[in-house]
Structure 1
Amino acid sequence: MSPRTGKSTKVSSRTSLTWRGDEKRERGSYLILVEGVTEKGYFSGMRSRRGPQIEVDVIKGDHVTRVRKAVDRVSDEYDAVWCVQDTELDQTLTDKMLREAHKGSKGGKKLHLGLSTPCFEFWLILHHDDHRKPFQSADEAKDRLKEILPAWSEGGTRFSDFAHGVAKACDRAQKLDREGDDHGRNPSTNVWKLATLLRTDPESSGPDRS
C-alpha cells in the first residue's frame, strides 16, 4: 500500500529460500515483489515443502518506482516475476504502471502485474465474502476486512486465515473481471492469476488445492 493509505513497510526487505538450482527449476520458481507487510505475510505463507519455490521481496518507493525496480529483477532465474500493487482508485497511476511493465519486457520475459482496486485487502476480502459493492477508498476496504476478521491487522496477516478460501476468492474475482485486465473496475483484482499459478504449479501440492 502506498504512504497515502498508511501502510508500513518496516519489514525485512527480503524473504529468500535456499535451494539447489536443479530442484528450483523442477519445482518452479516465482519472485513476488510487494508493497508491504500485508502482501508479504500472505504470499510467504503460500510456501510449502513440495510446492513451488516462492521468493517474496518488499520493495520501497512510489508505485511507478516499484514497477521499475521490479522490471530490473526479471530474469531467467525465475519462471515468472510478479509485482503486486494497489491501484488506489487512480486510473492515471494504473496506466503508468502498466506502461512501465510493458516497456520492461526482456526477450520474451516480462513483468506480471497483480493489481487490486482499490487495494490488496479486497483480494483478502474475497476469501471470505462475495463483495461487489464499490469502495470509496482503500481504507474503506481495510475496514471491511476488519469487520470480517476482527483480529486481522496489516502486520499480522497470515495466509492460514485465508488458505481455505483461495478457490472461492479466485472464482469471485474472475466473475468480476473474467480476463483480469479491467483494472479500472471498482472493485476488482487480478491476483487470482498469480494465486492460480502458485496452486497449479506442476510440482506443487500447495497449501490449498481444493
Structure 2
Amino acid sequence: MIVVEGQTEKLYFERLKESLRLASISFDFITKSSTPDKMVDSVRKKAGRRKDIDEVWYVFDSEVNQKENVRGHCSAAQKIGCEIGLSNPCFEFWLLLHISDYGKTNLNPEDLEKDLIAESEKHFKIGYSKKESKIQKFYNILFEDKDIAESFLKAAADRLDKHLGSEAGWEFVLENNPSTNVHVLAKTLLNEYKAKSRLT
C-alpha cells in the first residue's frame, strides 16, 4: 500500500500501477497533517482497513524550513512499520530524474518546477504544471506502455544511485537538497512487475 499526501504523487503512482499492471498495489491519499500524531493516525486507519497488505509506504515532500516537523513525521511513521519515500524539497526532483541528469543544489520547489517545465518542453514538447491535465499528459508519455515505463524508471533510479551513492535513508534525504529515496519504492515496484512477468 502506498499512502501519499500530494496530488502529483497520487497521479504518478496510479498511472505507474496501470502501466505495469500491478493490481496488487493499492493507493490511498491523506491530507497534509499538521502533527506527526495526526499523520500516523491517518495512515494507521487507512492501512488498518486492508488485511492483505504486506508493506506500507508513506510518500511525501520535505517542507522548506520544516525539518523537525518532517523528522517527526518520519519517526512516527516508522514506529508503525511504514517505509518512508521522502523527497527534498519536492517530488518534482524525482520526476526530473526520469528525463535528465540534474546537478543543481539547494533548491526550492519553485526552482525545481521551473527546471522540470524546461526539461519536459525540451524532451516531450509539452510543459509540466501542477494542473491535473498537464500532469496526466506528462505521465502518459512516461508510462505509455510497460516497456517505456520500465526504461524511464530504470533511468531515474540509476541517476539517483549515481547522485546518492549507497545512501537511501530518509535521514540523508532530509539533510541533502535535492534528493529523494522514492527510487527504493520504484525498484520494489519494478521487481514486482518483473516477477509477475516471469510467471505469465
* More strand as a share of residues: 1
Q: Report the AA paired with residue 196 of structure 2.
A: S
Q: Report the AA paired with residue 56 of structure 1.
A: F
Deviations 1:67-119 (A, max 9, x none): 44223434552121111100124322221122111222xxxxx1111000100
What SS class does the counterpart of residue 44 from structure 1 fall into? helix
Percent identity for Structure 1 against Structure 2: 32
Partners in 2 of 1:124 and 1:100 — Cα distance? Answer: 27
* Structure 2 CA distance for partners of 1:51 and 1:203, relative to 1, 3 Å: farther
| Pair 1:91-2:67 in alignment | yes
Query: In the alignment, is the contact (CA less than 8 A) between 2:2 and 2:26 conserved in 1?
Result: yes
Match of 1:185 in 2: 176
What SS class does the counterpart of residue 184 from structure 2 fall into? helix
Match of 2:135 in 1: 157
What is the CA-CA distance between 1:205 and the residue it aligns to?
3.6
Aligned residue pairs, count: 171
Partners in 1 of 2:26 and 2:54 — Cα distance? Answer: 12
Query: In the alignment, is the contact (CA less than 8 A) between 1:88 and 1:138 conserved in 2?
Result: no
Match of 2:86 in 1: 115
Once the two structures are superposed, the pairs formed by residues 124-163 of structure 1 within 5 Å of their partners are: 124-150=95-121, 151-154=127-130, 155=132, 156-158=134-136, 159-162=139-142, 163=149
* Structure 2 CA distance for partners of 1:60 and 1:53, relative to 1, 3 Å: same
Unaligned runs of 5+ in 1: 1-30, 105-109
* More helix as a share of residues: 2
Unaligned runs of 5+ in 2: 122-126, 143-148
Deviations 1:29-77 (A, max 9, x none): xx11112221111100112475352222221133634344223434552
TM-score (norm 1): 0.72
